[in-house]
């Protein structure tokens, strides 16, 4: 490849530039009744609106043989900053899942809702229904800052309330300013053709080189895997009050099989900021990535590569130059665990909160558990909050003491108390969506998780390790949507029925695991695990 070609911006940069601030030709694509798809350029632009074109991969071959176009439908992702929504919003999402999607609601690893299976003709009504509930989908995907996460910590309500406020402020500040979203989906006024281009004060003409993710953790919980994010805030609390944040930079999970230039990376701690500086920190870090991120190679375009290539000292100086203030030295903090803590807990405000285990985040009514019906009844009857966790679970939050018995009864009668019977392996497990909707999946994940857990649990039981507090995560490809590279045991899809096996992540999300063997079938995976479990049972330390 010539140097000129190597340094040329990738095609997506041109699509963004020509899109007239994210309008593209989406209105034409939506109106084209000859196909269930949208134009190729619009598939890039629609991501900025929280919309992914997909097709049902289970029937892709059959459709090709019948000379039919793929069975197109759309995944729509709803931003829920900090994961907190009202019962009314919950009911709105539930209704939309029935009316226009595939009848299920998916809780993601980033505290968002996802709908699958929305047909092109139903997209506009779906986005309007979401906005009616004062939620939106803009910037849920695309080369911008995504949903801002925050530990949904129920116990320490005062620190949580402060942290959540900053997470929401950061989210608002980094939301694109274009009127395209309102124009296309909400029948907003059209931009006057003679008007000067709208200003995107933070993103400019080309938005970011790649997606950008922010998470806020409240120690000792690292339930958001804060070090897996481009930018992280670790809340520092003194005497029950939020006094500031340690700022972390350059985390990320995505990699490509066989390409050592791509890698998962644990974020570095850059320094400390006060709460009042938190939004400015986000703005300046994002604009540094806007200006220095690699726009010539999308596999090298995440902020983690900017940080790895240029170093922390460079970043501190560039930050201070732009911000007009330097970050202070980081404050001491300690994480004790990842994942969620299940069941009932009383907050320091006297209210009750219950964290439910949702298998792979998929809410549906099944013979075993009537998730949608049970949660609908709860949402209809009480006035607290629903909090989505970064581990695909949900917390029913802010329950008055006299409401607890009713909620408990509804959970029990609908089969939603699964946390009471599962082993730690099951409770800690995460699986990404993968097949049949994810266009990048190389192997199963969500659909395979129950069988995989049964097999691995069987091996643990044989070694007397039934209650071992292991974290298992599985993804259908190396992109890392269930943050597999932080788990004790991770399977990363390589081909149908084949996975790369990683072992040895840290217990508090601060250490990456390592590749142990490649391209293994389940039988081989269990053999390797058997050896390791035997040694773990014999040689581990007390805790
Ligand atoms: Fe992801 C792409 C699903 C969290 C790294 N991710 C995708 C797409 C949109 C596939 C695509 O591009 O066509 C998947 C849609 C599947 C489907 O049918 O729904 C998808 N990602 C998900 C979700 C739904 C997984 C889940 O089971 O919950 C999560 C939605 C989060 C949200 O609400 O915003 C999800 N994705 C993540 C995470 C975890 C996180 O952020 O904490 C990561 C790893 C962290 C990171 O970004 O480094 C992640 N997703 C990716 C990547 C790799 C990015 C990279 O740097 O290389 C891709 C592929 C890409 O961007 O090209 C990807
Ligand atoms: Fe799809 Fe891969 Fe993400 Fe799984 S990890 S949802 S297979 S992109």
Query: How far, in Å, from the CA of 193 to the mean position of ligand 1?
Result: 36
C-alpha of residue 197 to centroid of ligand 2, in Å = 36
Is residue 376 within 8 Å of 91, Cβ to Cβ?
yes
Which two structure tokens, joined as six digits, stand for 4?
A: 């000129």
Q: Can you tell me which residue has the tokens 């940080």?
A: 307
pTM equals: 0.97
Catalytic residue among 302, 477, 483, 494: 477
pLDDT of residue 6: 52
349 secondary structure, DSSP code:
T
Sheet holding 430-431, edge to edge: 430-431, 472-475, 489-495, 498-503, 514-520
Give the per-residue pLDDT at 5. Answer: 47
pLDDT value at position 453? Answer: 98
Active site residue 150: no
DSSP letters for 480-515: -TT-GGGSSEEEEEEETTEEEEEE---TTS-S--EE
Instruction: Identify the pLDDT of residue 154.
Output: 63
* CA end-to-end span of the chain: 53
Pocket of ligand 1 (CB under 6 A): 52, 54, 75, 77, 108-110, 112, 114, 146-147, 211, 213, 228, 252-254, 302, 361, 392, 432-433, 437-440, 479-483
Strand order of the β-sheet with 84-85 is 84-85, 385-388, 394-399, 352-356, 343-346
Nearest to 96 by CA among 121, 71, 114, 73: 114
Ligand 2 lining (C-beta closer than 6 Å): 432-434, 438, 440-441, 445, 475-477, 479-481
Please state the atom number of ligand 2 nearest to the C-alpha of residue 476: 7
- pLDDT values of the chain reduced to their tens digit, one per residue, 543 residues: 344 445 567 899 999 999 999 999 999 999 999 999 999 999 999 999 999 999 999 999 999 999 999 999 999 999 999 999 999 999 999 999 999 999 999 999 999 999 999 999 999 999 999 999 999 999 999 999 999 999 997 667 788 899 999 999 999 999 999 999 999 999 887 777 777 778 999 999 999 999 999 999 999 999 999 999 999 999 999 998 999 999 999 999 999 999 999 999 999 999 999 999 999 999 999 999 999 999 999 999 999 999 999 999 999 999 999 999 999 999 999 999 999 999 999 988 889 999 999 999 999 999 999 999 999 999 999 889 999 999 999 999 999 999 999 999 999 999 999 999 999 999 999 999 999 999 999 999 999 999 999 999 999 999 999 999 999 999 999 999 999 999 999 999 999 999 999 999 999 999 999 999 999 999 999 999 999 999 999 999 876
SS3 441: coil
**Catalytic option among 120, 210, 211, 265:** 211
Shortest-distance atom of ligand 1 to CA 225: 42
Atom of ligand 2 nearest to the CA of 442: 7
């Amino acid at each position: 490849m010539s140097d000129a070609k190597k340094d040329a911006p990738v095609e997506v940069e041109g699509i963004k530039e020509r899109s007239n601030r994210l309008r593209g030709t989406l209105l034409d694509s939506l109106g084209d009744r000859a196909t269930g798809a949208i134009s190729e350029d619009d598939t890039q632009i629609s991501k900025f609106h929280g919309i992914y074109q997909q097709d049902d991969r289970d029937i892709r071959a059959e459709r090709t043989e019948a000379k039919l176009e793929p069975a197109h439908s759309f995944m729509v992702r709803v931003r829920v900053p900090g994961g907190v929504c009202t019962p009314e919003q919950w009911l709105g999402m539930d209704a939309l899942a029935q009316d226009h999607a595939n009848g299920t609601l998916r809780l993601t690893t980033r505290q968002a809702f996802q709908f699958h299976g929305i047909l092109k003709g139903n997209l506009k009504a779906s986005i309007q229904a979401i906005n009616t509930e004062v939620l939106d989908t803009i910037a849920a995907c695309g080369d911008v800052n995504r949903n801002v996460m925050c530990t949904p910590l129920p116990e320490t309500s005062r620190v949580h309330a402060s942290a959540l406020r900053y997470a929401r402020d950061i989210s608002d500040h980094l939301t694109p300013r274009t009127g395209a979203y309102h124009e296309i989906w909400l029948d907003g006024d059209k931009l006057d053709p003679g008007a000067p281009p709208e200003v995107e004060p933070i993103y400019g003409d080309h938005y970011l080189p790649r997606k950008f993710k922010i998470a806020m953790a409240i120690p000792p919980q690292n339930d958001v895997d804060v070090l897996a994010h481009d930018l992280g805030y670790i809340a520092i609390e003194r005497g029950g009050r939020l006094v500031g944040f340690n700022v972390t930079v350059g985390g990320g999970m995505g990699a490509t099989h066989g390409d050592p230039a791509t890698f998962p990376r644990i974020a570095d701690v850059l320094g400390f900021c006060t709460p009042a500086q938190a939004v400015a920190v986000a703005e300046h870090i994002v604009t540094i990535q806007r200006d220095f991120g690699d726009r010539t190679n999308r596999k090298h375009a995440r902020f983690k590569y900017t940080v790895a290539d240029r170093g922390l000292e460079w970043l501190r100086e560039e930050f201070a130059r732009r911000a007009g203030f330097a970050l202070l030295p980081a404050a001491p903090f300690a994480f004790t665990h990842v994942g969620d803590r299940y069941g009932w807990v009383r907050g320091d405000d006297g209210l009750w909160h219950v964290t439910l285990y949702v298998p792979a985040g998929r809410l549906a009514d099944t013979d075993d558990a009537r998730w949608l019906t049970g949660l609908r009844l709860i949402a209809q009857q009480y006035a607290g909050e629903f909090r989505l966790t970064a581990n695909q679970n949900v917390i029913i939050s802010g329950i008055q003491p006299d409401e607890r018995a009713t909620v408990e009864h509804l959970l029990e009668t609908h089969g939603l108390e699964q946390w009471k019977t599962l082993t730690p392996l099951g409770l800690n497990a995460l699986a990404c969506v993968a097949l049949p909707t994810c266009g990048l999946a190389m192997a199963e994940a969500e659909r395979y998780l129950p069988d995989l857990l049964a097999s691995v649990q069987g091996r643990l039981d044989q070694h007397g390790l039934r209650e071992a507090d292991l974290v298992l995560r599985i993804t259908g490809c190396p992109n890392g949507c269930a943050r597999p590279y932080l788990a004790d045991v991770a399977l990363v899809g390589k081909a149908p029925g084949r996975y790369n096996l990683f072992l040895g992540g840290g217990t508090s999300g601060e250490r990456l695991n390592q590749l142990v063997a490649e391209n293994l079938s389940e039988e081989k995976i269990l053999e390797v695990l058997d050896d390791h479990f035997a040694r773990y049972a014999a040689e581990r330390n007390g805790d």
